[in-house]
Amino acid sequence: MLYGPDGKMLAPSFNRMKFRYPVEKPWKVPMPDASGIEEYERRREKALDKNAFDHVHLQWFADGLFYNDLREPFISSDQNAAGTIITTDKPLALAASFPVLGGQYWARPGKKLKIRMFGRETTDGTAGNVTLDIYYGSGAAANGTILQASAAVAHQISRTNDVWWLELYIHCRATGSSGTLFVNGIYFASVTLVLSTVGPVFIPATAPAVSGAIDLTAANIISPQIKQSGAGSWNATVHDLEVISMN
């Protein structure tokens, strides 16, 4: 039998090898008293209780089993999908560069994606405004439903390779064949391309609203697209693209 420092017999369920001491040489630490053993057994039983772990211990580590997932494919070269920007929408990046989401991807309200693009733009001497439209569709030019759009923003003429950065958040508000998505984002550009008096450009510029009813059971993607109001020969190139599942 084992006895504590007070001379009392220890509970037979106590296993000294399982009692973890936060010291370098546990064999030099006196045996715990009965109250210490009871506390150890209480904590051990709680840890082994599935319901106690799920509802108590799990909350110590996270709000839920959610994580950010950077999705493939990853682009390995610059993309000039839009080519010459015209008065109708063209995708900034190739549809093949966007992850395959498949049907039923937006399976629960709150499901969220983040899209980040970094690129450059060149303008000639003809004045014009640029609009960014965020589509839910195949990823082809002007295909699908516009979920949200920026205002038409004046860009400076005769600029060469000025940089820009686009960040979007898309989350599901309702699921199914008549589902809805909510989009918000921001477009930053070099002050030599978009003057500080009109930038940064928010998406939307005013009155944020959920999309109209769309079929979220379809195997569509989110496609940021660009158009301009003028007749100039403007060009946009994407250098970096990230699509991240937020949960």
Residue 84's closest CA among 237, 233, 238? 233
SS3 213: coil
Q: Is the pLDDT of residue 4 over 60?
A: no
Q: Is the pLDDT of residue 223 over 70?
A: yes
Q: Is the pLDDT of residue 14 over 50?
A: no
pTM, rounded to two decimals: 0.75
Q: Are the beta carbons of 208 and 94 closer than 8 angstroms? A: no
SS3 171: strand
SS3 162: strand
Place of tokens 């994606």: 113
Numbered ranges of CATH 2.60.120 in the chain: 69-245
To the question of domain 69-245 being in CATH 2.60.120, the answer is yes
SS3 200: coil
CA pair distance 166, 118, nearest whole angstrom: 6
SS3 19: coil
SS3 22: coil
CA pair distance 132, 135, nearest whole angstrom: 10
* Percentage of residues in the chain having pLDDT higher than 70: 79
Q: Is the pLDDT of residue 21 over 80?
A: no
Most trustworthy range by pLDDT among 17-31, 41-55, 77-91: 77-91
Secondary structure (DSSP) of 61-99? T-SSS---EEPSP---S-B-SS-EE-SS-EESS-GGGS-
Q: Are the beta carbons of 62 and 210 closer than 8 angstroms? A: no
Q: Across the strands, what pairs with 236? A: 121
The overall average pLDDT reported for the chain is 86
Between these two residues, 157 and 43, which has the higher pLDDT value? 157
